[in-house]
A and B are shown apart, each in its own frame.
Chain A
């Protein structure tokens, strides 16, 4: 999956979880309902759907700043998994 596709995919997963749209610039951790359960659910879904495992060092607040930083982390996990 290329980067724009990953972003669109993540946007869809998070929007479904929160039940309302999230935009590119939105701070994910400030969204009501984006709590520890939501984070675990999103990570589990991404790991299953994309067949990758995110490094624990990427599962930190900085990764969830916005869709851009999350896309970056997912793409890094992806390349690690396939090379």
Chain B
């Protein structure tokens, strides 16, 4: 049964439950199902099965209903970050080959008139597209069909689209909804932006089980105290967020005065949560279960751990056991390790492993490895993360290979930021380093040999990259430190900044 079939089944079972509650607008499952049906039939009439639909929409019930509608219509969706500069949005639209573009009031101005798509829905057309309908003959999608494409940072300077099939998404959602025990009466926040992978849990674990989706508006998500009010005011029971956002909530809101009594479950993922701030957060939320989830966008979540007081005394919070049917090998020099506590790169196989990157066979091939175990070959995604497995089978995170960092939960390839700087005509060489930061995990700093000033180069990045990828500082120098082989000495640059 596809996710949308389960959504429609939930709507038949709990028609009067709220599917969405924004604070200003409550939409019942009955109404949501009719709107999704209406939009799906209108999209199916104008597009071919398998076509991709670009959704450049703010976080709203309309955006989420259109995600469901594209799936129900046998199409797939490509969420485009509303906060990205127009040039990057245009890149994603073209790279994804989307045949339709749907925008809202806030994003419309960022698009030129001559966009190469078959179907363009302007902001003024959203209400009509989502007008209710009560039946439609819709094409059914296959397990292996693409459900959605999520763009992530690419090391060579081009973002890459990760293709997620219906089967991949279902493997994750089946596990996650059961693990989290999501049920009618739950009020699940959508904190992360919709082009990110965290909301896959918020939306589909909720809308297939009769729970209520409560989007956190982009503006509220910027302000910890506003987020706190929203979580309290709408009595959120389940929250899934990145550690940076939770640390900001702890330090920059009045969370410790009264906590969040309705929050039964807090899930975090996207980056490490260090034990000290996590202990403070858990002390402020005595009635909330906290779980650490791990998995790159290419596999979705593949490990989980309920964080217990004993974990907080360790130097790092463990990753936990493999979940969602995933098989995780620790591979060292091409060979899976066999003894407890031996380190290896985490290679992931299983039903949530995605088929690869859209139209980038060379990148897909480079991200793959085949592991021979138990008499069969397992095609795996190479995560680039290193871990050990202890005698109890619990995985422990060790660190990452170079080049990819997390900042505020977003994944950034430093090479992509460097490539962006190098596209500026005045830049000869560029290096970007990430400096660890208690609140934002990492802050990016750039160095360049250039005939331009640093602020001009930072502006250039602002025009080309999403805000979280723009370096906090760009320093122009006559020369940069080198290693003995003549490569830029990134470590030395980083040490200079930390000192």
Binding site for B on A (CB under 8 A): 18-20, 29-30, 32-40, 56-57, 59-61, 64
Contact = CB atoms under 8 A, between A and B. Distances in A.
B224 interface: yes
B223 A61 contact: yes
Contact of B462 (A32, A36, A39, A64): A32
A37 B253 contact: no
A35 B222 contact: yes
Nearest to B86: A32
B25 interface: no
Contacts of B223: 39, 59-61, 64
A61 B226 contact: yes
Interface stretch (B63-71, B287-295, B304-312, B466-474): B466-474
Interface string B208-219: 000000000111
A19 B458 contact: yes
Contacts of B459: 19-20
A39 B218 CA distance: 13
**Taking chain B's interface residues, is the majority helix, strand, or loop, or is none over half, making it mixed?**
helix
B263 to A, nearest CB: 19
A33 B470 contact: yes
A35 B224 contact: no
B458 A30 contact: no
Contact of B467 (A19, A33, A57): A33
Nearest to B106: A30
Interface of B: 83, 85, 106, 217-226, 229, 248, 252-254, 408, 439-440, 443, 455, 458-459, 462, 467-468, 470, 472
A36 B222 contact: yes
22 contacts: A19-B458, A19-B462, A32-B85, A32-B467, A33-B462, A35-B83, A35-B222, A35-B468, A36-B248, A36-B408, A39-B222, A40-B439, A56-B252, A57-B225, A59-B223, A59-B226, A60-B225, A61-B217, A61-B219, A61-B223, A61-B226, A64-B223
Nearest to B226: A60
A2 to B, nearest CB: 27
Contacts of B106: 30
Nearest to A19: B459
B195 to A, nearest CB: 14
Contacts of B252: 40, 56, 59
Nearest to B443: A37
B427 to A, nearest CB: 17
A63 to B, nearest CB: 8
A39 B225 CA distance: 13
Contacts of B472: 37
Contact of B222 (A19, A33, A61): A61
Which 9 pairs between the two chains have the least Cβ-Cβ distance? A61-B219, A35-B467, A60-B226, A56-B225, A19-B459, A33-B462, A59-B225, A36-B222, A60-B223
B224 A59 contact: yes
Nearest to A30: B106
Nearest to A58: B225
Contacts of A56: 224-225, 252-254
Central interface residue in A18, A30, A36, by most chain B CB within 10 Å: A36
B83 to A, nearest CB: 7
A61 B219 CA distance: 6
A27 B201 CA distance: 32
Contacts of A64: 223
A56 B470 CA distance: 27
A39 B439 CA distance: 13
A23 B167 CA distance: 49
A38 to B, nearest CB: 8
A17 B451 CA distance: 22
Contacts of A36: 221-222, 248, 408
A52 to B, nearest CB: 16
A37 B225 CA distance: 15
